[in-house]
Amino acid sequence: MVSFSLEGKVAMVTGASYGIGFAIASAFAEAGATITFCDIKQELVDKGLAAYAEKGITAYGYVCNVCDEEQVKAMVAQIEEEHGVIDILVNNAGIIKRIPMTEMSAEAWRQVIDVDLTGPFIMSKACIPSMITKGGGKIINICSMMSELGRETVSAYAAAKGGLKMLTRNICSEYGQYNIQCNGIGPGYIETPQTAPLRERQADGSRHPFDQFIVGRTPAGRWLQTEELTGPAVFLASEASNAVNGHVLYVDGGILAYIGKQP
Ligand code: NAP
Ligand code: GCO
């Protein structure tokens, strides 16, 4: 019987103090994995540790900026010493800046590319050698609808997430021979702090126009929840997906298949 168990595995989920990363790490714990996570600030790591503990999960948190290669190398070495080789890496940490492209500074552009694309490169580069030595591993990159679609004001984010889809395919191509499977998850529109501005009630109490737009673009007719990503994540982290490589699994309620509800 194919196994969805993560017993005996060490997982690292970046940016997992809350949001999508927290939900995925929590599901990995339920499947038996040892949970390590990082965030950019100690107070966020502490917040995350408390949230995991509230769910009865013993997690190990590290302060690490995924854009800083020296911090990442030191964190990975420390985790290997304290818990063993990272078997499952989820590149979840991400930011977005919603600015019309012609008004976006090159610095703001670089910040988004750095976290959302260079960070996964740095994290994967740090984890792959030990995965090879150990005989295999799993890398899951958290992509986006913007890995396939553009929209106003998210040029840097879309470029990063499109690049992340191709980094996923390239890691598959270059390291599949070492029994490393690298896949993506492409969430649709999920209720998290990152999308909160798109769901804010208007001054007159009406729903945000984008909120109404997305509900109309989603066959499910609703925003999705972080927990709805966890089954696909456990699948891609487990032996059940050993023959799946270089794939982006869209968990979007059908958005990419749907032209949208007639107004
Ligand atoms: P979120 O609520 O903003 O959480 C992102 C986490 O990453 C935060 O804890 C953040 O810390 C951390 N982070 C940011 N920069 C970092 C860095 N340089 N190093 C380490 N950690 C860093 O985002 P989310 O909605 O959970 O999204 C998680 C991932 O899913 C992101 O990659 C996002 O692009 C992607 N995604 C989200 C949606 C959605 O609808 N929410 C849909 C598709 C894809 P701070 O709090 O300090 O920023
Ligand atoms: C936006 C949203 C999206 C989501 C997600 C969709 O401004 O359009 O933030 O980018 O975060 O990436 O898959």
pLDDT tens digits, one per residue of 215-241: 999 999 999 999 999 999 999 999 999
Which residues have CB under 8 Å from 126's CB, separation 6+?
Answer: 69, 72, 73, 76
CB of 145 closer than 6 angstroms to any ligand 2 atom: yes
Q: Is 189 a catalytic residue?
A: no
Q: How far apart are CA 32 and CA 114, in angstroms?
A: 32
Atom of ligand 1 nearest to the CA of 20: 26
Give the pLDDT of residue 39.
97
CB of 75 closer than 6 angstroms to any ligand 1 atom: no
Catalytic residue among 52, 60, 157, 250: 157
Ligand with the closest atom to the CA of 20: 1
**CA–centroid distance, residue 145 to ligand 2 (Å):** 7
Ligand with the closest atom to the CA of 146: 2
pLDDT over threshold 90, residue 2? no
Summary mean pLDDT of the chain: 97
> What's the pLDDT tens digit per position in 121-146?
999 999 999 999 999 999 999 999 99
Please report which confidence band the pLDDT of residue 262 belongs to, taking 50, 70 and 90 as the band edges: confident
Write the single-letter amino acid at 9: K
Please report which confidence band the pLDDT of residue 185 belongs to, taking 50, 70 and 90 as the band edges: very high
Helix segments in the chain, DSSP class H: 19-30, 42-54, 69-82, 106-113, 119-134, 155-175, 209-217, 230-237
Which residues have CB under 8 Å from 18's CB, separation 6+?
Answer: 44, 47, 48, 51, 192, 193
Give the pLDDT of residue 1.
77
Ligand with the closest atom to the CA of 22: 1
Please report which confidence band the pLDDT of residue 107 belongs to, taking 50, 70 and 90 as the band edges: very high
**CA–centroid distance, residue 128 to ligand 1 (Å):** 22
Give the pLDDT of residue 13.
98
Give the pLDDT of residue 98.
97
Residue located nearest, by CA, to atom 12 of ligand 2: 144
| Cβ count within 10 A of residue 179 | 15
Atom of ligand 1 nearest to the CA of 66: 19
CB of 146 closer than 6 angstroms to any ligand 2 atom: yes
CB of 39 closer than 6 angstroms to any ligand 1 atom: yes
Does the global pTM surpass 0.95? yes
Test site for ligand 1: of 36, 37, 39, 249, most ligand atoms within 8 A of the Cβ: 39
Give the pLDDT of residue 263.
80
> What's the pLDDT tens digit per position in 53-90?
999 999 999 999 999 999 999 999 999 999 999 999 99
> What's the pLDDT tens digit per position in 3-51?
999 999 999 999 999 999 999 999 999 999 999 999 999 999 999 999 9
Average pLDDT over residues 191-214: 94
CB of 173 closer than 6 angstroms to any ligand 2 atom: no
Write the single-letter amino acid at 143: C
CB of 144 closer than 6 angstroms to any ligand 1 atom: yes
